[in-house]
Chain A
Amino acid sequence: MSIELTVNGRAVSVSVAADTPLLDVLRNHLDLKGSRYGCGLEQCGSCMVVIDGKADYSCVREISAVAGKRIETVESLASHPLHQAFLDEQAGQCGYCLSGILMSAKALLDRNNSPTRADMVTALDSNLCRCGAHPRIIRAIERAAAALREGARANDLREGARS
Chain B
Amino acid sequence: MSETLPLSILNNRRMEKWVRFQPDRTVKLAVGKVEIGQAVLIALTQIAAEELDIAIDRFAVISGDTADAPDEGSTSSSQSIEMSGRSVRLITAELRARIVDRLARRLNCSPSDIDVLDGAFLLDDEPTGHDYWNFAGDEDFAADIAGTAKPKDPADYKIVGKPVPRRDLAAKISGAGFIHDIVRPDMLHARILRQPSREAVLTAFDEAAVRRAARGDFRIVRVANFVAFVGDDETVVQRAAVAAPAHAKWDKVRKLTPAHQEAAWYLTQPSDDRFVGDSVPDAIAGEVVSETYSRPFVAHAAMAPSCGLAEYRDGRLQVWSHTQGVYPLRNSLADILGLTREQVTVRHAHGAGCYGHNGADDAAVDASVIAMQIPDRCIRVQWRREEEFGYEPVGTAHMTRIKAVLDAAGKPIDWTCEVWAGSHVQRPVYGGNMLTHEALPSPPPAPKPNDPPEAAGGGGTRNGIPLYDFPAKRIIHHLAMTTPVRTSSLRGLGALPNVFALECFVDELAEKAGMDPVTWRLAHLSDPRARRLIESVAERSGWASRGTGGNGKGLGIAWSRYKNKAAYAAVAVEIEVDREVHVRRAWIAADAGLVINPDGATNQLEGGLVHAISMTLKEQVKLDGAGITSLDWDSYPILRFSEIPEISTELVHAPNEPTLGMGECTFGPTAAAIGNAVKHALGVRIRDMPLTRERIAAAILRG
Contacts and interface: CB of A to CB of B under 8 A. Distances in A.
Nearest to B232: A28
Contact of B610 (A40, A43, A87, A134): A134
Nearest to A124: B641
B180 interface: yes
Contact of B641 (A38, A87, A94, A134): A134
A90 to B, nearest CB: 6
A127 B632 CA distance: 14
B174 A75 contact: yes
Contacts of B165: 87, 90
B175 interface: yes
Interface in A78-98: 78, 83, 86-87, 90, 92-98
A94 B172 CA distance: 9
A127 B641 contact: yes
A21 interface: yes
B37 A99 contact: no
Interface stretch (B152-160, B266-274, B349-357, B511-519): B349-357
A14 to B, nearest CB: 12
B599 A90 contact: yes
A17 B304 contact: no
Interface string A6-39: 0000000000110011001001100111101111
A95 B167 CA distance: 12
A95 B37 contact: yes
Report the interface size class on chain B. 35 or more
B655 interface: no
Interface in B512-546: none
Interface residues of A, number: 55
Interface in B156-199: 163, 165-166, 168-170, 172-178, 180-181, 183
Nearest to B608: A132
Contacts of A73: 175
Nearest to B36: A94
Contact of B234 (A28, A120, A124): A28
Contacts, number: 170
A132 B606 CA distance: 7
Given A131-B37, A131-B353, A74 B175 contact: yes
B351 A94 contact: yes
A129 interface: yes
Interface string A130-153: 111111111000000000000000
A43 B177 contact: no
A43 B174 contact: no
A90 B351 CA distance: 18
A44 interface: yes
Given A75-B174, A92-B169, A130 B611 contact: yes
A99 B173 CA distance: 6
A129 to B, nearest CB: 7
Contacts of B351: 94, 96
Interface in B601-643: 603-604, 606-611, 614, 632-634, 638-642
Contacts of A133: 603, 607
Interface in B110-140: none
Nearest to A120: B641
Interface string B29-40: 000000011110
Q: At the interface, is chain A mostly helix, strand, loop or mixed?
A: loop
B577 interface: no
B305 interface: yes
A33 B177 CA distance: 9
A128 B304 contact: no
Q: At the interface, is chain B mostly helix, strand, loop or mixed?
A: loop
Nearest to B631: A41
Given A39-B633, A134-B644, A135-B644, A75 B607 contact: no
A34 B606 contact: no
A43 B174 CA distance: 23
B302 interface: yes
Contact of B178 (A32, A90, A96, A120): A96
B611 A37 contact: no
A41 B353 CA distance: 20
Nearest to A42: B633
A125 B215 contact: no
A109 interface: no
A102 interface: yes
Interface centre among B36, B238, B610 (most CB of A within 10 A): B610
A132 B176 contact: no
Contacts of A122: 642
Contacts of A98: 169, 172-173
Contact of B607 (A46, A96, A121, A132): A132
A114 to B, nearest CB: 19
B234 A96 contact: no
Contacts of A41: 385, 632-633
28 contacts: A27-B234, A28-B234, A31-B183, A33-B176, A34-B175, A36-B178, A37-B304, A38-B385, A39-B305, A39-B633, A41-B632, A46-B303, A83-B173, A90-B599, A92-B173, A93-B39, A94-B172, A94-B302, A95-B37, A95-B173, A96-B352, A99-B173, A122-B642, A128-B640, A131-B353, A132-B609, A134-B610, A135-B606
Given A96-B351, A121-B641, 9 more contacts: A39-B305, A93-B604, A94-B36, A94-B353, A95-B168, A99-B175, A121-B642, A130-B354, A133-B607
Question: Top 4 closest A-B pairs, CB basis?
Answer: A132-B610, A94-B37, A94-B353, A95-B172
Interface of B: 36-39, 163, 165-166, 168-170, 172-178, 180-181, 183, 215-216, 233-235, 238, 301-305, 350-355, 382, 384-385, 599-600, 603-604, 606-611, 614, 632-634, 638-642, 644, 646-647
